Structure 1
Amino acid sequence: MTFDVHACERPDAATVLLSAGLGGAAGYWAPQLAALGARYRVITYDQRGTGRARAPQLPANYAISDMADEVLEILDATSTKTCHFVGHALGGLAGIDLALRHPDRVRSLTVVNGWAAADAHTRRCFEIRVALLKGAGVEAYVRAQPIFLYPATWLAANAERMVAEDAHALSGFQGSNNLLRRIEALLRFDATPHLHALRLPVLLSAARDDVLVPCSQSETLAVQLADATLDVVPYGGHGLNVTEPEAFNALLLGFLDRRFGST
């Protein structure tokens, strides 16, 4: 992995670790850095197989537990005893796994448009994305990706930005092997039998217009977890922290303030 530690002026600041979704890149969290960095030490990272950490290729049977172990390595490398873990989609799955196996390292968990086990709709979406990648190639996959991430009205209003994002995604593409291994990992993941063991505060953030992961997945998680706060917004899509950053930042900071104060 390649990670970045964004220092806070407060010497006693708690740490927030941000874990991206399938894209895996630290840069996904750019809209959150200023808001969080004013009060927290923030760690971002490129997940193994992505971004600055694309090589070597991921092995067969690569799993969400491997992704969680990589976070544990980062916590150790940065002398971070505990963190507030914030994960988007796949990143949230890594957070669930980490909190289940190493509860002493995670103070709170925020899962954005995540799930305990992928439902039939989400599986269909990933099957279509895999078919695009294998049948039409990388460029077709990249161009289709925003349709799964963002609301249609937002895409229409940000057409030029999408052209730039497509170019950036193509130039930094993680490679078909790594992408397929990561999709296989998220589709195999099923934390349902173990969710009762999670006793830490969990924030579940979801959007009703998410076309990739139905908000019902977050609603199901909320029922199964012992200490869950559920926030479902009408608009924002799968990447709601990008499309509605001010609202998401306020939600996250408010959750951390209510449960932990400034620590």
Structure 2
Amino acid sequence: MPPILLIHGLFGSLSAPAIVSAFGDTRVLAPDLIGYGVHREGAPEAWTLQDQADHVAAWLRERAREPVNVVGHSVGGAVGVLFARRHPELARSLTSVEGNLTLGDAFWSRRIADRPFAEVAAEIAGFRANIAGWLARSGVPPTPSNFATAADWLDNQPASTIRAQARAVVAATGDAAYLEDLRALIASGLPIHLLAGARSRDGWSVPDWLSRAAATETVIPETGHLMMLEQPERFATTVLTNLAAH
């Protein structure tokens, strides 16, 4: 199996050992986006999702010599679309894990994009002060492992990154050219896989034409938007099974 590139969402990273190890012998690459993790210091005040896609491409070129299977979660799904469109030589397939497809999917990003920074920072601080409550809102049990990973996710970026990324995803998914990029990827023959959690699938704005064109469309039972945290083995197995079928 070619390497898998995991692109994280608005919070955190997908490099948690429990997530990466669930893919077994398959090589997994999980970069931090601009403003996150090792890139949190010295990040610009603003960027676009196109900038994020180019950042991932530059990061990947230093680590892989072959096209990868791109797996993008939430905001990372939107970055994945732009990555595959702008750097087609690097993408073997694209799996959108409840990836932002419309402004409807970016509901939290849209809500905070233009709020005063102090309000955004205070809300995020509230998440950190009540991690169990933050997990519960996504239906994730606060096991010690889940709690530790969630704490790492919330600490992986400053509040300024969250607001800048929210603004970037609103700008990208609000542009009609974004879905045209996705149509162009389908026309190019790139396999597109759609993956959702059973509890959150109804809130994912997948156009009918995308469902019809997708190589696979899978719903993982008894999970929600953070399925890779709830059931990492099942998440990884589903991704690998879908990729092996195409």
Q: TM-score range by the shorter chain?
A: 0.7 to 0.9
User: Contact conserved, 2:12 with 2:152, CA < 8 A, in 1?
Assistant: no
The yes-or-no answer on 1:23 pairing with 2:7 is no
TM-score (norm 1): 0.76
Q: Percent of aligned pairs with the same residue?
A: 26
Paired residues for 1:63-212 under 5 Å: 63-119=48-104, 122-123=106-107, 126-127=110-111, 134-135=118-119, 136-143=122-129, 153-155=139-141, 158=142, 160=144, 164-165=148-149, 167-169=151-153, 172-190=155-173, 191-198=178-185, 199-210=189-200
- Aligned residue for 1:14, secondary structure, equals coil
**CA displacement, residues 119-157 of structure 1 (integer Å, 9 cap, x when unaligned):** 1x74257516986973335421435677676666533xx
Residue 245 of structure 1: CA displacement?
2.0
1:6 — aligned with what? Answer: none
Determine the structure 1 residue equivalent to 2:29.
Answer: 43
What is the deviation of 1:228? 3.4
Give the deviation of 1:24 after TM superposition.
Answer: 4.1
d(CA) in 2 for partners of 1:128, 1:180: 7
Gaps of 5+ in 2: none
Structure 1 residues 77 and 91: CA distance shift in structure 2, 3 A: same
Instruction: Compute the RMSD of aligned alpha carbons.
Output: 3.1
Whether 2:240 is the aligned partner of 1:253: answer yes
Rounded to whole Å, the distance in 1 between the matches of 2:210 and 2:131 is: 28
Deviation digits for residues 244-263 of structure 1, max 9, x if unmatched? 2232222111112111xxxx
CA distance in 2, matches of 1:33, 1:122: 26
Gaps of 5+ in 1: 1-12
Preserved CA contact (<8 Å) 1:58 1:178: no
1: CA distance, partners of 2:128 / 2:96: 24
Count residues in correspondence.
237
Tell me the secondary structure at the aligned position of residue 102 of structure 2: coil
Structure 2 counterpart SS, 1:36? coil
How far apart, in 2, do the equivalents of 1:162 and 1:242 lie? 7
> Do the aligned partners of 1:93 and 1:115 also contact (CA within 8 Å) in 2?
yes
Partners in 2 of 1:82 and 1:137 — Cα distance?
39
Q: CA deviation at 1:77?
A: 1.0
Deviations 1:137-188 (A, max 9, x none): 5421435677676666533xx2655654565455x35112222101111111
Which residue identity does 2:184 align to in structure 1?
A
TM-score if structure 2 supplies the norm length?
A: 0.81
Instruction: Summarize the Cα distance change of 1:124–1:94 in structure 2 as closer, same or farther, 3 Å threshold.
Output: closer
Give, in whole Å, the separation in 2 of the partners of 1:150 and 1:204: 25
Alpha-carbon distance change, 117 to 146 in structure 1, aligned in 2, over 3 angstroms: farther
Aligned equivalent of 2:205:
217
**1:57, CA displacement in angstroms?**
2.7
**Partner SS, residue 174 of structure 1:** coil
